[in-house]
Structure 1
Amino acid sequence: MNIAGTSAIPTPSGIHHIKLPVTDLERSVRWYAAVLGASRLTQLDHRRPDGTLFAVILDVPGLGTRLELRLDPATATALAGYEFLTLAVDDRAALDRWITHLDSRGITHSPPVVALVGWVLVIPDPDGQRLRLYTIAPHRLDADRIEYDSPWLSTGPARI
Structure 2
Amino acid sequence: MNTGSASTNPVPLGIHHLKLPVTDLERSARWYGRVLGAHRLTELDHRRPDGTLFGIVLDVPGLGTRLELRLDPATATALAGYDFLTLAVNDRAALDHWITHLDTLDVPHSPPVVALVGWLLVIPDPDGLRLRLYTVAPHGLDGAHIEYDSPWLSTGPAPVGRHH
Interval containing the TM-score (normalised by the shorter chain): over 0.9
Amino acid at match of 1:9: N
Structure 1 residues 41, 144: closer, same or farther in 2, change over 3 A?
same
SS of residue paired to 2:35? helix
Between the aligned partners of 1:79 and 1:151, the Cα distance in structure 2 is 16
CA displacement at 1:88 relative to structure 2: 0.1
Between the aligned partners of 2:33 and 2:21, the Cα distance in structure 1 is 16
Unaligned runs of 5+ in 1: none
Show the counterpart of 2:47.
47
Amino acid at match of 2:67: L
Is 1:151–2:159 an aligned residue pair? no
CA displacement at 1:142 relative to structure 2: 1.2
**Structure 2 length normalisation: TM-score?**
0.95
Between the aligned partners of 2:5 and 2:29, the Cα distance in structure 1 is 49
The share of aligned pairs that are identical, in percent, is 79
Is 1:112–2:104 an aligned residue pair? no
Show the counterpart of 2:125.
125
Structure 1 residues 45, 7: closer, same or farther in 2, change over 3 A?
same
Superposition misfits of 4+ residues, deviation over 3 angstroms: 4-7
Show the counterpart of 2:18.
18
Show the counterpart of 2:27.
27
CA displacement at 1:3 relative to structure 2: 2.0
Unaligned runs of 5+ in 2: none
Between the aligned partners of 2:127 and 2:15, the Cα distance in structure 1 is 24
Between the aligned partners of 2:26 and 2:105, the Cα distance in structure 1 is 17
1:94-134 deviation digits (Å, cap 9, x = unpaired): 00000000000000000000000000000000000000000
SS of residue paired to 2:121? strand
SS of residue paired to 2:74? helix
**Structure 1 length normalisation: TM-score?**
0.97
Amino acid at match of 2:18: I
Between the aligned partners of 2:75 and 2:50, the Cα distance in structure 1 is 23
How many residues matched? 160
Between the aligned partners of 1:3 and 1:47, the Cα distance in structure 2 is 43
1:131-156 deviation digits (Å, cap 9, x = unpaired): 00000000000100000000000000
SS of residue paired to 1:33? helix
Task: Quote the RMSD (CA, aligned, Å).
Answer: 1.2
CA displacement at 1:2 relative to structure 2: 5.8
Structure 1 residues 20, 5: closer, same or farther in 2, change over 3 A?
closer
Between the aligned partners of 1:2 and 1:105, the Cα distance in structure 2 is 49
Show the counterpart of 1:63.
63
Between the aligned partners of 2:2 and 2:27, the Cα distance in structure 1 is 50
Amino acid at match of 1:59: D
Correspondence list, 1:128-143, <5 A:
128-143=128-143
